[in-house]
């Protein structure tokens, strides 16, 4: 039996390599939502269709500049109230 060839694929990254760098000049929508006190889905809905300074729409989501977080928070205002979950009606027993 011939010896097996070595794999040509890249070795998997360590957990430390996967961690996001702290020196980024941008934040994700989840990080922005946490910093300004919004829920992520509500924030995405609020950003949709608006041209805010420091936010760029990309093919994978939003590119949000770290320097403009305070300005974005002022423009968006306070977070909307969390809607109540719909109440389920109890099943009918016949």
- What confidence tier does 84 reach under pLDDT thresholds 50, 70, 90? confident
Q: What is the pLDDT of residues 60-82, one digit of tens each?
A: 888 899 999 999 999 999 988 88
At residue 89, the pLDDT reads 73
Of the candidates 60, 64, 31, 59, which has an alpha carbon nearest to the alpha carbon of residue 47? 64
Q: How far is CA 32 from the centre of its chain?
A: 8
At residue 70, the pLDDT reads 93
Q: What is the pLDDT of residues 21-41, one digit of tens each?
A: 667 788 989 999 999 999 999
- What confidence tier does 49 reach under pLDDT thresholds 50, 70, 90? confident
Tokens 């998997």 correspond to what residue? 12
Query: Domain extents for the chain?
Result: 23-76
- Threshold 0.75, pTM exceeds: no
| CB of 77 closer than 8 Å to CB of 86 | no
């Amino acid at each position: 039996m011939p010896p097996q060839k070595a794999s040509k694929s890249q070795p998997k990254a360590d957990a430390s390599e996967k961690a996001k760098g702290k020196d980024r000049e941008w934040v994700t929508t989840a990080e922005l939502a946490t910093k300004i006190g919004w829920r992520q889905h509500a924030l995405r809905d609020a950003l949709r269709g608006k041209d805010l300074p420091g936010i760029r729409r990309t093919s994978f989501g939003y590119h949000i500049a770290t320097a403009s977080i305070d300005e974005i928070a002022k423009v968006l205002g306070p977070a909307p109230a969390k809607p109540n979950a719909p109440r389920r009606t109890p099943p009918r027993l016949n």
